[in-house]
Amino acid sequence: MVKRIFITATNTDIGKTYTTKLLLKEFASKGFRVGVIKPIETGVVGGVYLDGSELLEAVQGLNGEFRDIKVSEIVPISYELPAAPFVASGCEKFDIKKVDMAIAKLESFCEILLIEGAGGLYVPVDKEYMMIDLIEYFRASALLVTHCSLGCINDTLLSKNALDAKGIKNLVVFNCKSGDESFAKVSEPYFLETGFEVLKVSSDMDKICDVLYNL
């Protein structure tokens, strides 16, 4: 059975695509046939998939079986408006079966499928689904990417508690960017004192992949 890992975050612009590309590279270096899908991308104008194109280029460089895959197969559902999918779609019902078919095709080429979400966990997909519900639906474990700036304690705990409440196996990782030098002083002490292992996207990818594979 293909291992499914859903990459989510505490909000938009936290680093999901960046992290997903590093995961692809690290899992491939361990000998796995890797695959990726981003079920929904918004802000796709004129056929330009900003995240999807990056993901497709990354996976094609690591798994030759994806050489004939098109970006529209990596991103089966897209909208022009850069907004929550529910709004961007004009409040239409989400075509989850279309995503199921895309996943079925891509999983024939890989052993690990990375599923990149859009925005955070409570981004509305339609009237029935929030993004967190898709993790359950796809029977995936979750990688929660959080930030390192002031406020990350609150943002991280809210999202992790939501995953835990639904019984979704998950791992938290920190994507520290330039300007986040205060993290070690103002936020990291809380996580260390309360039992969080502070794994960073920039330096701990080997361990992150090992933990994810065994979730």
Query: Which residues in 165-174 are b (16+ Cβ under 10 Å) and which e?
Result: eeebebbbbb
- For 102, the 3-state DSSP assignment is helix
Output DSSP code: residue 209.
Answer: H
Single-letter amino acid code for the residue at 14? I
Query: Quick one: how far is CA 13 from the chain centroid?
Result: 12
- For 100, the 3-state DSSP assignment is helix
* 200 is annotated as an active-site residue: no
Q: How far apart are CA 84 and CA 90, in angstroms?
A: 10
| DSSP string computed for 94-161 | P-HHHHHHHHHHHHTT-SEEEEEEEEETT-BSSSS-BHHHHHHHTT-EEEEEE--STTHHHHHHHHHH
Q: Check 21, 38, 169, 207 and give the catalytic one.
A: 38
Residue count of the chain, please give it: 215
Q: How far apart are CA 133 and CA 186, in angstroms?
A: 32
- Known catalytic residues? 38
